[in-house]
Amino acid sequence: MARFIPYFPERLWQRYVWALAVMAAMVVGNVVVQRVTFEQAAQNAARVLLITEQQTRVAQILSDLQTFEQSGDAPDLTARLDAFDAAQGQLLQAAPSDPAIQALAAAGEQFSWRVQSALVDPQADAPRDLAPTLAAVREDALRQAERQQAQAVRWHWAAFAVSGLVVIALAVLVFWPSHQSIRAATHRGRVQIRALQDKNDDLRQLSERLDHAKYHDALTGLGNRRKLMADLSRRMQAAPLGALCLLQIDLDRFKSVNDTLGVTMGDAVLVHVAKVLEHLLRTQDVIARVGGDEFVVIMEFPPEDAPEMARNLADAMLQAIRRPFSPQEDQTCTVAASIGYAFNGTRRDTTETIMANADIALGEAKQGGRGLALRYDAAMRAGLEWRATLIADLERAIADYEFVPHFQPKCDLATGAVCGFEVLSRWEHPQRGTLPPAEFLDLAEEIGCLDVIDAQVLHKGLDALRDLRAQGVEVTMAFNASASSLRQPEWVQDLSMALAMRNLKHSDIVIEVLETILIQDDQDQAVRSIRALTAAGTRVDIDDFGTGYASMSMLATLDVGGLKIDRSLVTNISQARDRQVVEAIIGLSHGLGIKITAEGVERPDQLAILRDLGCDTIQGFGIARPMPLTDMRDWLAERAESSVTLLEAG
């Protein structure tokens, strides 16, 4: 039975059409057969009855021939006889195979012959009466009609039975399988609908999660940059001028948290900061995390109170972020932040403008010492534009070799002789003239080009030293080396090659480094470079000593050759406390075999005290200012031709 069940319900209509067509054909056929059978039987019986009735009358007339003739008004017997013969023919046509009709026909022929004989010979035998025969024919015709009607009824019931069987067959072979197919299809449809509903629910949930992820930060649950920009655009269109405030909060030195405590701890810090900021905000305010450790807040204040309220909120944020917290039971963490904020000052301000303004203020806060909250003003943008211009100029200046060495002499305090020069970087700017290091060194270090500047100045300084040695001037050149340069593994090797190319030795130069390098780990590349320099014969001096965290034990460990006392101690050396500090430095250094240079010497009293304390070398404006190579040569020539004291020479 299963093979009668169509797999595809959409094809059921074909079976329904065929089944209905068969049923309709059988009903119509049954009706037609029944009607035709009944009509045919009735027509045959009627014709037989009509003909026999006619023959009965004709036969009666012919039988009464003698009487009609005797009465004198007999009808035309010949015409009657012709009508009788015609009726006989019709009777035979109506039922040629019926025995009763055939017997009646034979009797009629005999009756007609006798009538004709009686017309010729009155003495002939009279025609036999046909009435009994005709009555028998009529009865036979009625019985035949009843038999045909009964047969038609039997055919009718037979057709009805066949129709019933066909209906049952259709029900079994078509309608029931179709019903089962529909039920199966309906069940499959319901199952598929439920599956689709489940998938639709999953897709809707996934869509909701994707929409949430599209506009929210996965770690903190805050809005992301996309959501922030949409909210900011909408708020700026509705907020009065000066009422909308955007605050950018950036965690200070967050990278060190990840590096020292791990990424997991860093994530915990970000989640904590997000909760702290949310706690300080109102429900209508907007907060978003737009970077690794950067958050942005959008708030609206009354325009007349907006600056003060924004400043108070920013201070409250800094204080709340600085409070120690415990991301784990056995660990306490403290972080700090810097904030820059800006207002919608004009109708020309766009979302990008206010974001950029707050970012500029944030940058100023970080450069100003971190842990600050600064409001944007136009001067900050001017400084930023100047900074961008300076960066472009730096890149051009490096390509054009505009960085040159200036030389500041060092003198032996005991003899007054020039013992060397410190090589200092200067920028020969084509428009702004000669720029001191304070104008560009910090920016150069920030953008990563300080090493290139140091290399250019180093090579030009070595060229000058080579030329002075060729002229018989026995002096040393002291070069400043940044920590980033010393951390380059190949830096000492490159220096050795530069010296060899100019027929110079390591002992002909001095490398000055900041004392902050001394507090680095022994495995630091800068410390290894210092050891490599001393091993090669280069004297290493510690610059600006006395202002950092270096200890005398570190000096002994690194085999440092000299110390340069910072100018801040030399400036106030006439005061007892500063003098005692300088004296202690000189005494301890000499005990370790380390030479002392005092920088920033400008007055005779400073020179006298340093001489009394046993300082080895002095340097400062009191002797000479830093000068270009040509001026340095002229200065050496003038000094050689004259007999002047140290301070008089400056």
Q: What is the mean pLDDT of residues 322-329?
A: 82
Q: Cα separation of 550 and 559, whole Å? A: 14
Residue-wise pLDDT for 268-296, tens only, equals 899 999 999 999 998 899 999 998 899 99
* Lowest mean per-residue pLDDT among 11-20, 29-38, 111-120, 255-264: 111-120
Domain boundaries, the chain: 2-185, 225-376
Q: What is the mean pLDDT of residues 581-607?
A: 91
Distances 600 to 408, 438, 535 between C-alpha atoms, Å = 11, 16, 30
Q: Cα separation of 179 and 90, whole Å? A: 59
| CA torsion angle 147 153 157 158 (round to 10) | 40
pLDDT at position 498: 95
Q: Cα separation of 195 and 187, whole Å? A: 12
Assess whether pLDDT exceeds 80 at residue 235. Answer: yes
Q: Cα separation of 52 and 141, whole Å? A: 10
10 Å CB burial of residue 310 (0-12, 13-18, 19+) is: buried
Assess whether pLDDT exceeds 90 at residue 256. Answer: no
Q: Decide which of 17 and 220 is more confident.
A: 220
Assess whether pLDDT exceeds 50 at residue 264. Answer: yes
Residue-wise pLDDT for 361-388, tens only, equals 998 898 888 889 999 988 888 877 888 8
What CATH fold (topology level) applies to the domain 225-376? Alpha-Beta Plaits (3.30.70)
Radius of gyration over alpha carbons of the chain, in Å?
65
Q: Looking at this protein, which amino acid is placed at residue 252? A: D
Tokens found for residue 589? 């250094």
Q: Cα separation of 610 and 647, whole Å? A: 13
Q: Cα separation of 392 and 397, whole Å? A: 9
Q: Which residues have CB under 8 Å from 355's CB, separation 6+?
A: 232, 246, 248, 296
Residue-wise pLDDT for 459-502, tens only, equals 999 999 999 999 989 899 999 998 888 989 899 999 999 999 99
Assess whether pLDDT exceeds 80 at residue 308. Answer: yes
Assess whether pLDDT exceeds 90 at residue 145. Answer: no
Q: Cα separation of 509 and 476, whole Å? A: 5
User: Would you place residue 75 in the very low, low, confident or very high pLDDT band (cuts 50, 70, 90)?
Assistant: low
